[in-house]
A and B are shown apart, each in its own frame.
Chain A
Amino acid sequence: MSSSGASAGAPPVGEPNHLRRFLTIWIVATLIALPLVIFVLGPELPPGHGSEQATGHVTDNTVLLAMGTPVLLLVTIYLLYAVFAFRQPRGGVLEGPAVRGHQGLQTAWIVITSTLVLSLAAYATVRLLGDEGAGSGSGPTPLTVPPGKKLPVQVIAQQWAFTYRYPTYGGVETTHLELPVDQMVELHVTSLDVIHSFWAYQLGVKADANPGVDNVAFVEPTKIQTFEVHCAELCGIWHGGMFDHGHVVSAADFETWIHQQQVTFAPATKALPKYSKTYLPEPTRRGE
């Protein structure tokens, strides 16, 4: 963009130094916008601070937004500047300068953008493999597993509801999800029929539920609250209705609740198939 400035040195009389003007506007706008994005908007970004993972996503979203803001401003301000500064007079037939490129600028652009995206990819990889990134479905054998004792909970999706099985509590299956606070939970997500996706919004967890697949995700809730559970993969006509609330409660409340569930669902638990990490749909098909 600076090709003409670079090749011709001083601008002609009467013509302002567009490059310096534009860069000044951009730098000032960035200096104003960046602190706002990082310190004002950042902490408010979704999905909130319901879990270690959600907090991690807030940080990630802030980093991405902070990286994206200068780029957004650069191009937007540039477009506006160019639109207002370099116009054809009404009815004019003036020609612009016949500049076909600028080697130095092109190289610089390639180097800068490559550095930016490579550092973003490196950052994302580090975050993904750490505990903060463990809220996404990581397949049956995750590459990294958070250390310490974990509470296994199985999420079973079917058209159009989620149920939850607690294998360490006698395999009791409940109709809504309750988790103890400050305890790393190991979610095993599977499906009985079509593809669903378990999405606990405030906890920063999303993992697809495929029939016959055990998809593991980890979450450590850090706040006692009610959270939303959605299905995030189109699964048929009541997809939008596949919605529920779960609760993060204190460890003591959780023990009370789960024992109550064990008693309530004792007959059902007996009738359930043996706990398994995956289930295959019966080969029943339409019309049967």
Chain B
Amino acid sequence: MSTTTVSTTPKSARPLWRRLIGFNLLSAVILGIGGYYLGWWIGHLVSEGKSFEYTGATNENDAALLLAYFGGVIGFLIGLGFANYPVSRMLGRPASLREKEEEGIGRYFGLCTDHKVVGIQYLCGIGLFFFVGGLNAMLIRTELLQSNPTFVGPNQYLSLVGEHGTMMMGMMTSGILGPFANYFVPIMIGARRMAFPRIEALTFWLLMAAGFILTSTIFFGGFPTGWTGYEPLNDQAVMGMDSYICFFALVGLSMALLGLNMLATIITMRAPGLSWSRLPIFVWSVFATSVLMVLAAPMLVATLLMAALDRTIGTSFFIPGGGGSSYLFQNLFWFFGHPEVYILALPAFGIVLELLPVFTRKPLWGYRLAVSGMLGVSLLSFFVWQHHLFVSGINADLRPFYMLSTEIISVPTGFIFLCVMGTLWKARTSFSVPMLFCLGWAFNFLIGGLSGVFLSDTPSDTDTHGSFFVMAHFHYTIMGGLIFTFFAAIYYWVPKMVGLNFNEKLAKTHFWLMFVSFNSTFLPLFVLGMEGMPRRVSFYEPKFHALNVWVSVSAFVLGFSMLIFLFNTVYSLIFVRERAAQNPWRSKSLEWQVPTPVPVNNFEQIPVFDADPYDYGTPLAVGPAQPAGAGG
């Protein structure tokens, strides 16, 4: 590790006061605040005397807030040191990866280009906002304990709904690619770093800036639109809406860059011998996801830019009264939004298929089928977006096409299920915690997928669109799908990342409580939706009350299961600190063959591949079980 250190004085050896000066999180926050007020001031300056329609009467200045956010983000990034490299290159200095030099805990709090540091930064940062989003959900369910809004009121309620949805959809998009792909893809493909290490760090810090911007919406009145941000309600909303716009635009930018970086890394930096047909299936899922990110996310940024222009300088892209169209926003939004939900689903497929062979002691069943399933989902997801608009009246004649494409996408998704089932057959399954979460995924995603069939069928969707049925459906696919595998990945890979074990009893308690309360929360919502309860309401008919109380109580238990996880994390990783074995799961994948903790440059020598990492099992198809060879 120390051989790579070139710097004459290690930064960690300097006195504390000296370390606080320079490009670090402290300067970033200071410059961020400075940039924020600079933007705010410029915003007021440019709108002074102009007839910007909104400014005068309501004392609101959307232009100022958006410029303030913009200035804040720029200041924040400069403070972290993102401008140093471009500036030094412009001044003719040689290229370097200086940010990689520093060691110790400090590098987790600043710009670091080590993909392993960025992975852990992502895990902590996303975890933080995951809990913020989860708390919003708890407040939402508290409000729904009563059929009239008496707890936080209808305005706050909508803000909570919007913040919960936007936070989860925005942050958890990178929930697997951020922490786990950044950390493990280079190791799995035998590379020493990502293709663009600075961009890798940038995606993380953009996401953190975005998260705080979205949280700040409470200071500006929140936003009433939910995560979809439909126009013209968007245009009508108070300044809190600008936080949503800015948040999602930054997330879109971060997503596109993350995807681009992954694609470049996977395409160009594979070690010798690692042909496409030997690529770990998790890397394939990252590849498929990244294609979607690169193609879909820019659409979101463009759409939000148009929305921001509508709100600030009075254009009318989406304002029917001014010649625009409310359909345009829906159309553009879902052109991003539908690939987005597959961006959430695909990494989950990858995790499950990657972990299953390890815990079943069998090779991955149907590797090529799994890869074509993922690529098929990835491709088809660009042809289904108007199924969100089946009853909207837009292109009504095209509905048969969108029904067809939506139902066809279940064929490649079915491939994944076949591969899961094939791998489980006659396996030697051990039910470690990651495996439990993978099995949880299989059940949840099955329910999510089958309920999706009702939504893909226009006559049936007429009853369920905009109801709790939809809400239950996508929570089954996203929470039951993505979040379950997110935890599988945490329990599976964090021992490698930090070198410490989780307490297994607590982890198993977490799983069972989460699995049971998750189903107990969301299964009744299918019934509520079918019975006619619209989503995003804080008023509902008394006949829905009993079931809503049931759902709320289950949701609190679900929230409690997250606290068990949090407790386990603090207890095991901070207090007990039991050292993890180098390869506790006896995996044959490359990331488990490197030492723990992983050296800064991953490998002393770039490895050469001669097989895929699923070389498990006895070669006989059926035979007396034999003790495994050394797992590595």
Interface residues of A (CB under 8 A from B): 1-4, 7-8, 11-12, 15, 18, 45-47, 53, 56-57, 60-61, 64, 67-68, 71-72, 75-76, 78-79, 82-83, 86-88, 92-102, 105-106, 109-110, 113-114, 117-118, 120-121, 124-125, 127-129, 132-133, 135-140, 142-143, 189, 193-195, 197, 199, 201, 204-208, 210-216, 228, 230-241, 243, 280-288
In Å, the complex CA distance between A266 and B225 comes to 37
CB distance from A62 to the nearest CB of B (A): 10
Q: Could you jot down 16 A-B contacts, CB within 8 Å? A: A1-B418, A3-B365, A4-B425, A46-B530, A53-B462, A87-B429, A95-B428, A96-B426, A97-B617, A102-B366, A206-B465, A206-B466, A208-B391, A215-B392, A287-B54, A287-B58
Assess the B418–A109 pair: CB atoms within 8 A. yes
Which of B367, B397, B541 has the most A CB atoms < 10 Å from its CB?
B397
Question: Which of the candidate stretches B4-12, B402-410, B485-493 sits at the interface with the other chain?
Answer: B402-410
Most buried by B among A87, A121, A207: A121
* A140 contact set on B, CB distance < 8 A: 393
Residue of B nearest to A236 (CB): B224
State whether A78 touches B421 (Cβ < 8 A): yes
Q: With A121-B403, A197-B391, A210-B393 as known contacts, state yes or no: A135 contacts B369, CB within 8 Å.
A: no
Q: A195, B326: Cβ atoms under 8 Å?
A: yes
Interface residue stretch chosen among B19-27, B532-540, B568-576: B532-540
Residues A281 and B320 in contact, CB atoms below 8 Å apart:
yes
Chain B min CB distance to A162 (Å): 14
B435 to chain A, nearest CB (A): 10
Chain B residues, CB < 8 A from A216: 393
Q: Which residues of the other chain, B, contact A285 by a CB distance below 8 angstroms?
A: 53-54, 235-236
Which residues in window 397-439 of B have CB below 8 A to A? 397, 399-400, 403-404, 407-408, 410-411, 414-415, 417-418, 421-422, 424-431, 439
* CB closest residue in chain B, given A45: B530
A102-B422, A113-B411, A283-B319 known; A96-B362 Cβ under 8 A: yes
- Nearest to B465 among chain A residues (CB) is A206
Instruction: Establish whether residues A136 and B461, one from each chain, have CB atoms under 8 Å apart when the complex forms.
Output: yes
| CB <8 Å contact, A120 and B392 | no
Residue of B nearest to A78 (CB): B421
CB distance from A121 to the nearest CB of B (A): 4
Closest-by-CB residue of B relative to A136 is B462
Given A106-B366, A237-B224: A47 in contact with B463 (beta carbons within 8 A) = yes
Taking a contact as CB atoms under 8 Å apart, the answer to whether A60 and B460 are in contact is: yes
CB pair B459 A57 closer than 8 Å: yes
CA distance A95 to B586 in the complex (A): 11
- Provided the pairs A60-B457, A207-B393, A212-B320 are in contact, do residues A97 and B621 lie with their beta carbons within 8 angstroms? yes
Instruction: Find chain B residues with CB under 8 A from A189 CB.
Output: 393
Q: What is the distance, in angstroms, from A59's C-beta to the closest C-beta of chain B?
A: 9
Report the 3 A-B pairs with minimum CB-CB distance, sorted nearest first.
A240-B537, A232-B466, A98-B617
- A286 B236 Cβ-Cβ under 8 A: yes
B607 to chain A, nearest CB (A): 23
> Complex Cα distance A153/B88, Å?
69
A204-B462, A232-B534, A240-B539 given. 16 additional CB < 8 A pairs? A1-B422, A15-B622, A78-B421, A82-B421, A87-B430, A92-B430, A95-B361, A96-B361, A120-B457, A125-B400, A189-B393, A201-B532, A210-B326, A212-B326, A234-B226, A283-B321
Stretch of B101-109, B446-454, B598-606 that contacts chain A: B446-454
Complex: A195 Cα to B388 Cα, angstroms: 14
Given contacts A99-B365, A287-B56, contact A94 B625 (CB under 8 A): yes
Render B210-250 as a binary contact track against A, CB cut-off 8 A, 1 for contact: 00000000000000111010111101101000000000000
A64 touches B393 (CB 8 A): no
Q: How distant is the Cα of A88 from the Cα of B428 in the complex, in angstroms?
A: 4
Asked, given contacts A12-B622, A138-B393, A282-B321, whether A76 binds B457 with beta carbons under 8 Å apart, the answer is no
CB-CB under 8 A from B415, the residues of chain A are 109-110
Q: Decide if B621 touches A8 in the complex (CB within 8 Å).
A: yes
Q: Of B327, B414, B463, B467, which one neighbours A113 at CB under 8 angstroms?
A: B414
CA distance A188 to B390 in the complex (A): 16
Measured CB to CB, the closest approach of chain B to A143, in angstroms, equals 5
- Contact in complex: A1, B425 (CB < 8 Å): yes
**B619 at the A interface (CB under 8 A):** yes
Give complex CA distance A220, B401 in Å: 26
| B566 touches A (CB below 8 Å) | no
A128, B427: Cβ atoms under 8 Å?
Answer: no
- The verdict on B443 contacting chain A, using a C-beta distance below 8 Å, is yes
Q: Are A82 and B400 in contact (CB under 8 A)?
A: no
- State A31–B585 Cα separation when bound (angstroms): 41
**B residues near A110, Cβ cutoff 8 Å:** 411, 415
In the complex the two chains form, is B628's CB within 8 Å of A18's CB? no
> Chain B 133-155 against A: per-residue CB contact (8 Å), 1 yes, 0 no?
00000000000000001000011
CB-nearest residue of chain A relative to B370? A101
- Of all chain A residues, which has the CB nearest B390? A136
Contact A60–B536 (Cβ < 8 Å): no
Tell me, yes or no, whether B47 is within 8 Å of chain A by CB.
no
For the complex, what is the distance from the CA of A210 to the CA of B228, rounded to whole Å?
A: 16
Q: Given A72-B446, A100-B364 in contact, is the A82-B425 Cβ separation under 8 Å?
A: yes
In the bound complex, residues from chain A placing their C-beta under 8 Å from that of B155 are 237
Q: Please state if B421 and A210 are interface contacts (CB–CB under 8 Å).
A: no
The docked-state distance in angstroms from the alpha carbon of A57 to that of B465 is 13
> Which of B408, B424, B619 has a CB less than 8 Å from the CB of A82?
B424
Decide: B392 and A137 in contact? CB cutoff 8 A.
yes
Assembly CA distance A139 to B135 (angstroms): 40
Decide if A64 touches B408 in the complex (CB within 8 Å).
Answer: no
Q: Is the CB of B459 within 8 A of A117?
A: no
Q: A194-B232, A210-B327 are in contact. Are A101 and B321 (CB under 8 A)?
A: no
Supposing A102-B422, A193-B232 touch, asked if A75 and B442 sit within 8 A by C-beta, the answer is yes
Asked if A72 and B450 make an inter-chain contact with CB atoms under 8 angstroms apart, the answer reads: yes
Neighbouring A residues of B467 by C-beta, 8 Å: 232
Contacts of A282 in B (CB 8 A): 321
Using A4-B426, A99-B365 as known contacts, say yes or no to A207 and B391 having CB atoms under 8 A apart.
yes
**B236 close to A8 (CB less than 8 A):** no
Determine if B96 is an interface residue (Cβ-Cβ < 8 Å).
no
**Bound-complex Cα distance A96 to B429 (A):** 8
Closest to A10 in B: B622
Residue of A nearest to B447 (CB): A72
CB distance from B440 to the nearest CB of A (A): 10
Contact of B617 with A95 in the complex, beta carbons under 8 Å: yes
Task: Report B-chain residues with C-beta under 8 Å of the C-beta of A57.
Answer: 459-460, 462-463
Are B391 and A137 interface neighbours, CB within 8 A?
Answer: yes
Hey, which chain A residues are within 8 Å of B450, CB to CB? 68, 71-72
The contact of B418 among A88, A106, A129, A210, by CB within 8 Å, is A106
Interface centre among B369, B397, B459, B615 (most CB of A within 10 A): B459
**Are A128 and B466 interface neighbours, CB within 8 A?**
no
B360: CB under 8 A from chain A? yes
Q: With an 8 A cutoff between CB atoms, is B627 at the interface?
A: yes
How far does the alpha carbon of A127 sit from the alpha carbon of B403 in the complex, in Å? 12
| A143 and B397 in contact, given A87-B429, A99-B362, A288-B57 (Cβ under 8 angstroms) | yes
**In the assembled complex, how far is the CB of residue B433 from the closest CB belonging to chain A, in whole angstroms?**
14
Cα distance A138–B398 in the bound complex, in angstroms: 10
Q: Does B268 contact A (CB under 8 A)?
A: no
A114 touches B466 (CB 8 A): no
Complex CA gap A216/B393 in Å reads 8
Is B158 on the interface with A (CB-CB < 8 A)? yes
The minimal Cβ–Cβ distance linking A137 to chain B, given in whole angstroms, is 4
- In the complex, how many angstroms separate the beta carbon of B374 from the nearest chain A beta carbon? 15
Chain A residue at smallest Cβ distance from B424: A82
Closest to B57 in A: A287
Residue numbers in A under 8 Å from B319 (CB-CB): 281, 283
Contact B628 A95 (CB under 8 A): yes
Q: How far is the CB of A17 from chain B (nearest CB, A)?
A: 11
